């Protein structure tokens, strides 16, 4: 390589690096920025510990809830790890990138396939179809995120910043951010849209069982994809606008969106944790010798239906979906 060619290459690289850009801090090392991460880590960790301690994963669909929360725990613990082992190189950031991408995508994809399993259970009025689908769910929610996580390792999705002293994702204004699109934006939109579609189909199925139009009380189910949309939607939209040069850098907006993204685990734990708490109470009552029907088990899934008789579904009292044997029943809490 001639000296002039080397000079041109160096100039080109320097020009690229000096282009206007914004560093998004993915792994803040100041504790005040980690408060939502810590809250979400504790909340999802409690759900995981309760599920393991009371063996709730043996119940229909609850293993998927456990897998989803384990993925979230990995995601949040990777962020908290910088408090004890600060990043010091691009390779370190690459390792964190693998864990971050896998935990994020796996957790959200588990939420999407959970919505599908919920619809399948309603459609067939039994959970017997779910084990047959599990191999496909594992491919979608474990294998694909793992491949994507490993694929992020040799990229510059996360790099070490000498200025921030931590791992950042660098966005160049007016340029398509391919790495962010592949590892964050596209997977998140897919998970959100898929969840909304399957929960809407579940709502229609419930309305069909009621032989009535879906009322507002059924649309409470949309809180599940709604959490994903509220927490990730603003960040995804802002980043897209930034890539196309339609907005400029705004550190305050970045900080707000970062808080929303990191608090998602807490909201998920609240929503799904309600059914976990009910199952724990049931297990405790059984251990204490209280009269608990062995035929009815809490179904850790968005609950919605109440039962007054064998075929009659009444609107309004939508609580936790339960399972009696292989047939989905409607029980009131």
Task: Domain 20-274: give its CATH superfamily.
Answer: Rhodopsin 7-helix transmembrane proteins (1.20.1070.10)
Mean pLDDT of 86-95: 94
pLDDT of residue 221: 60
Average pLDDT over residues 117-123: 85
CB-based burial, 125-154: b 16+ in 10 Å, e otherwise: ebbeebeeeeeebeebbbebbeebbebbee
C-alpha–C-alpha distance, residues 270 and 40, integer Å: 10
Indicate the DSSP class of residue 168: E
Cα gap 82→158, rounded to integer Å: 14
The SS3 assignment for 245 reads: coil
pLDDT digits 0-9 by tens, 129-159: 888 899 999 999 999 999 999 999 999 999 9
Looking at residue 223, what is its pLDDT? 75
pLDDT in tens, 256-266: 888 898 999 99
Write the pLDDT tens digit of every residue in 183-236. 998 998 899 889 889 888 888 888 777 665 655 545 556 677 778 888 888 888
Going by C-alpha positions, the residue among 324, 276, 260 that lies closest to residue 40 is 260
pLDDT greater at residue 73 or residue 287: 73
**Listed residue (299, 304, 306, 307) closest to 275, CA to CA:** 299
Could you tell me the residue ranges of all domains in the chain?
A: 20-274
């Amino acid at each position: 390589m001639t000296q002039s060619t080397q000079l041109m290459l160096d100039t080109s690289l320097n020009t690229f690096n000096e282009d206007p850009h914004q560093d998004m801090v993915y792994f803040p090392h100041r504790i005040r920025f980690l408060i939502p991460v810590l809250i979400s880590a504790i909340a999802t960790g409690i759900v995981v510990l309760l599920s393991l301690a009371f063996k709730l994963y043996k119940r229909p669909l609850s293993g998927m809830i456990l897998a989803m929360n384990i993925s979230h725990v990995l995601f949040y613990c990777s962020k908290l790890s910088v408090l004890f082992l600060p990043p010091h190189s691009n390779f370190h950031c690459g390792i964190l990138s693998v864990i971050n991408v896998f935990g994020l995508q796996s957790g959200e994809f588990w939420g999407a396939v959970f919505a599908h399993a919920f619809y399948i259970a309603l459609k067939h009025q039994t959970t017997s179809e779910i084990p047959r689908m599990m191999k496909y769910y594992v491919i979608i929610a474990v294998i694909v995120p793992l491949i994507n996580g490993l694929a992020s390792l040799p990229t510059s999705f996360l790099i070490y910043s000498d200025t921030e002293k931590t791992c950042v994702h660098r966005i160049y204004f007016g340029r398509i951010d391919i790495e962010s699109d592949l590892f964050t934006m596209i997977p998140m939109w897919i998970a959100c849209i898929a969840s909304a579609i399957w929960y809407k189909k579940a709502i229609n199925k419930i309305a069909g069982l009621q032989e009535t139009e879906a009322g507002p009380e059924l649309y409470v189910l949309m809180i599940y994809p709604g959490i994903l949309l509220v927490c990730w939607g603003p960040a995804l939209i802002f980043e897209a606008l930034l890539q196309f040069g339609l907005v400029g850098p705004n550190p305050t907006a970045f900080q707000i969106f970062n808080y929303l993204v990191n608090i998602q685990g807490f909201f998920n734990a609240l929503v799904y944790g309600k059914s976990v708490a009910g199952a724990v109470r049931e297990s405790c009552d059984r251990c204490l010798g209280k009269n608990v029907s062995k035929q009815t088990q809490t179904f850790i899934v968005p609950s919605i239906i109440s039962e007054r008789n064998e075929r009659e579904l009444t609107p309004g009292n939508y609580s936790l979906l339960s399972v009696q044997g292989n047939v989905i029943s409607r029980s009131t809490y």
